[in-house]
Chains A and B, each alone.
Chain A
Amino acid sequence: KQEVTQIPAALSVPEGENLVLNCSFTDSAIYNLQWFRQDPGKGLTSLLLIQSSQREQTSGRLNASLDKSSGRSTLYIAASQPGDSATYLCAVEGSQGNLIFGKGTKLSVKP
């Protein structure tokens, strides 16, 4: 059974700092991996989708990498801003076509 773990559970950084969020999964047979952002009281917003054949994806200040063999992904946020404060969730899609989510990392960026 696929399990997704995100470390750390919470992170607080000063504005302007670069940071890395980690995601690990137990079964490397995945089709893709997605990173989502969730603001309090809101649904999830997809940030980046990495297909299993890809190593990384970039969007603005965000860069996500995927290493299937080691069962790991990282989300790199450059020059963090207070508006980046949210919970970030990682999800993997397996052969059943369903997303398995981690519990998320709650990020707080202090002005």
Chain B
Amino acid sequence: EAGVVQSPRYKIIEKKQPVAFWCNPISGHNTLYWYRQNLGQGPELLIRYENEEAVDDSQLPKDRFSAERLKGVDSTLKIQPAELGDSAVYLCASSPAYSGNTIYFGEGSWLTVV
């Protein structure tokens, strides 16, 4: 069974440019998460979806970040415009259902803003 797939793996952009990350969760997983991980830190939640509904986006910087999960499967996270402080790893994860389940992570999308 395929795991959580993310693309691109690596991206280098200039500040003020837009960037988008794509995630394909494990088949049948209703819950999808986007986390951001800075160097030497643990991941921090940006947004959580239950099917196509964003149920927790309290940590998403809505002035420049947006996300969508069409048809409750794939998801896209966008940053526009990017700032130097956005350099981080963006991790997508999925689980069968909300709460109490093992969470499966993708390998991450590594963003460098120069």
Contacts and interface: CB of A to CB of B under 8 A. Distances in A.
Interface stretch (A13-21, A45-53, A69-77): A45-53
Contact of B103 (A41, A46, A102, A103): A46
Contacts, number: 54
Contacts of B40: 103
Secondary structure at the B interface, as helix, strand, loop or mixed, is loop
Interface in A1-52: 4, 31-32, 34, 36, 41-46, 49, 51
B21 interface: no
8 closest Cβ pairs, A-B complex: A101-B42, A43-B105, A44-B105, A43-B107, A46-B102, A97-B99, A98-B45, A43-B108
Contacts of B99: 31, 93, 97
B93 to A, nearest CB: 8
Contacts of A41: 107, 110
Nearest to A4: B42
B73 interface: no
Secondary structure at the A interface, as helix, strand, loop or mixed, is strand
Given A43-B108, A98-B56, A93 B100 contact: yes
B69 interface: no
Contacts of B48: 97-98
B100 A46 contact: no
Interface of B: 4, 40-45, 48, 55-56, 91, 93, 98-108, 110
Given A43-B91, A44-B91, A46-B103, A101 B56 contact: no
B31 to A, nearest CB: 8
B107 A31 contact: no
Contacts of B101: 49
Contacts of A36: 105
Contacts of A62: none
A64 B69 CA distance: 35
B100 A31 contact: yes
A13 to B, nearest CB: 21
